[in-house]
Structure 1
C-alpha cells in the first residue's frame, strides 16, 4: 500500500489540463499537492520546498524545458525522489523516453497518457520505493 499523503509537484503548461489534473488528484485523496505551469516555476517551487517532493508529475512537452530534462535536473539536485511523465505523445515515443531515463539512472516510475486515470496512476505508485 502506498501513502495518499505523498508530496506531489504537478507541472502542466496548459491551464485546463493543470486544473483538471489537480482536481482529479485531489479527488483521489492526494492533498499534498503543489502546482505550477512551467519548468521554471517548478524549479522555484523545488528550491523553496523544505524537503524533496516525493513525486514530480510532469508534462513532457513544456515550452521552457522538456519534462525529462526537468526530471534529470531535479533528481541530480536532490529536489525530487521520483517522477512520472504526463503526455499525449505516442506510447512508442514515451517508451523511448523511459528507456533513456533508465539508461541515465533517473528516478522515473513511468509515464501516463493524458487524461490522468486513477488506476494507472496508482499502478505506477506501486512501483515507488517511497
Structure 2
C-alpha cells in the first residue's frame, strides 16, 4: 500500500473501535496518526501540535462532547483542515449532521458509517 501523507487525529472512545480503525487506517497507507479517547484529549493534542491536522476523524457519540461540536471547536481554533464523522448512527442521522455542518460553515467532508470503508474514505479525502 502506498503511503498517504495526511496527518490524522482519530477520536474514538471505544477501545476496540479505536484499535480496529487504527489498523484499518494503517492498512490504507496512513501512518501519521494521533489518537484520542475523548474530546478533551483531542483538544489537548490539537493545541500542542505545531501545525493543523489534515483530518479530524471522530465518532459522533463521544462521552464528553458530540463529535460535531468537537469539529466546530477544532475548526474555529484552526486546529484542522477537514473533518469526517465516523459513526454507527443510522444514515438519516448522519445526513442531518452533514446538513448541520454545512449550515454552520464547518469543514466537514462527510459522515461515514462504521466500520471504516477504504473507498468512501479516499473519496472524501481526495480534496485534501
TM-score by length of 2: 0.96
**Corresponding position: 1:74 with 2:74:** yes
List structure 1 runs of 4+ shifted beyond 4 angstroms. Answer: none
Q: Cα RMSD (Å) of the superposition?
A: 0.9
Q: Tell me the alpha carbon deviations over residues 76-121 of structure 1, each in whole angstroms, 9 at most, x when there is no partner.
A: 0000010000001111101001000000100000011000011111
Deviation at 1:123, TM superposition (A): 1.1
Q: Distance in 2 between matches of 1:20 and 1:96?
A: 26
Give the equivalent residue in structure 2 for 1:53.
Answer: 53
Q: Which runs of 5+ in 1 are unaligned?
A: none
Describe the SS at the equivalent of 1:5.
strand
Q: Distance in 2 between matches of 1:46 and 1:124?
A: 21
Describe the SS at the equivalent of 2:84.
strand
**Corresponding position: 1:118 with 2:126:** no
Give the equivalent residue in structure 2 for 1:86.
Answer: 86
* Count of aligned pairs: 126
Describe the SS at the equivalent of 1:7.
strand
| Aligned pairs (5 A) from 1:1-130 | 4-126=4-126, 128=127, 130=128
**By percentage of residues, which structure has more strand?**
2
TM-score by length of 1: 0.95
